[in-house]
Amino acid sequence: MSEPIVHVIDDDAAVRDALRLLLTTEGHEVVTHGSAVDFLAGVDRAGTGCIVTDVRMPEMTGMELLLKVKNMGLSLPVVVISAHADVPLAVQAMKEGALDLLEKPFTDESLLNAVRQALAYDSGKRARDLQAQEIQRRLTTLTSRENEVLAALLKGQPNKIIAHELGISVRTVEVHRANVMAKMQAGSLPELVRMSLAQPPRAERETESQSEAPRDG
């Protein structure tokens, strides 16, 4: 994976240079942009890191950038800086997805802490996304019958009830249950439940879809 980049966006060159010096001194890789438009024109959608942006800028404000980042599906967390921060602005920034808002003049340590938190958040989110993708991949390896058994297990049903409802033997349920545990790489039933909560098994999704379908009459 590429080194995370701190994108500094400010129309004031002196501010950009000062922030770049501070962040690079702390070992961060920094790329500066004179405007939000310049940033969006060259952003790597798959890149890692975070954004530090001013609010008041020509062409596109920091608040408009927040909305654009969200609409584009960019996962980079955003730290907003402003010389005119107040409660309404802070509330709006957080609603639009900002991770933090710093009021100028801020201390070097407050900015460094905000960037550290943003990078940690980005790293953690990507790890969670990768884990969710892996769980989804494992779910796709289950057969239709295994999905039915999994859906029943998530309802807390014992093997005897599952066997009765599916019209199969308890021994067959045990075999399917073992296969589900192995394919999902779950060491215990609670672990299987935790993994499945994020993405319900196919049998459960199909049941929900059918229940939501319009009925004639």
Higher pLDDT, 172 or 193: 172
Range of the domain at 75: 5-130
Instruction: Check residue 122 and give its pLDDT.
Output: 76
DSSP 7: E
Query: Is there a single domain that holds both residue 111 and residue 169?
Result: no
Query: Is there a single domain that holds both residue 91 and residue 163?
Result: no
Is 55 within 8 Å of 104 (Cβ atoms)?
Answer: no
Query: Which of 130, 165, 183 marks a domain boundary?
Result: 130
Q: Say if residue 28's pLDDT is above 70.
A: yes
Instruction: Check residue 118 and give its pLDDT.
Output: 92
Query: Is there a single domain that holds both residue 146 and residue 177?
Result: yes
How far out from the chain centre does Cα 17 lie? 31
Q: Is residue 136 a part of any domain in this protein?
A: no
Instruction: Check residue 200 and give its pLDDT.
Output: 53
Q: Say if residue 48's pLDDT is above 80.
A: yes
Query: Is there a single domain that holds both residue 152 and residue 75?
Result: no
Mean per-residue pLDDT of the chain: 85
User: How far are the Cα atoms of 63, 85, 98 from residue 122, in angstroms, in the given order?
Assistant: 20, 24, 13
Model confidence, pTM: 0.62
Q: Is residue 48 a part of any domain in this protein?
A: yes
Residue 36's CATH number: 3.40.50.2300
d(CA 180, CA 182): 5
Instruction: Check residue 211 and give its pLDDT.
Output: 45
Q: Is residue 61 a part of any domain in this protein?
A: yes
Query: Is there a single domain that holds both residue 147 and residue 169?
Result: yes
* For residues 83-111, average pLDDT: 84
User: How far are the Cα atoms of 13, 74, 151, 184, 200 from residue 119, in angstroms, in the given order?
Assistant: 24, 14, 37, 30, 30
φ and ψ of 164, to 5 deg: -65, -45
Q: Say if residue 215's pLDDT is above 50.
A: no
Query: Which of 79, 101, 130 marks a domain boundary?
Result: 130
Query: Is there a single domain that holds both residue 151 and residue 116?
Result: no
Residue 199's CATH number: 1.10.10.10
Q: How confident is the model at residue 203 (pLDDT cuts 50, 70, 90)?
A: low
Query: Is there a single domain that holds both residue 118 and residue 11?
Result: yes
d(CA 178, CA 12): 62
Query: Which of 85, 103, 130 marks a domain boundary?
Result: 130
Q: Say if residue 141's pLDDT is above 80.
A: yes
Instruction: Check residue 216 and give its pLDDT.
Output: 38
Continuous segment of H or E residues that includes residue 13 = helix 13-25
Query: Is there a single domain that holds both residue 112 and residue 153?
Result: no
Q: Say if residue 69's pLDDT is above 80.
A: yes
Instruction: Check residue 81 and give its pLDDT.
Output: 92
Domain count, the chain: 2
Query: Is there a single domain that holds both residue 112 and residue 186?
Result: no
Closest CA to 36 of 72, 4, 1, 2: 72
In the structure encoding, which two tokens stand for residue 189, read together? 């039933």
* For residues 129-156, average pLDDT: 88
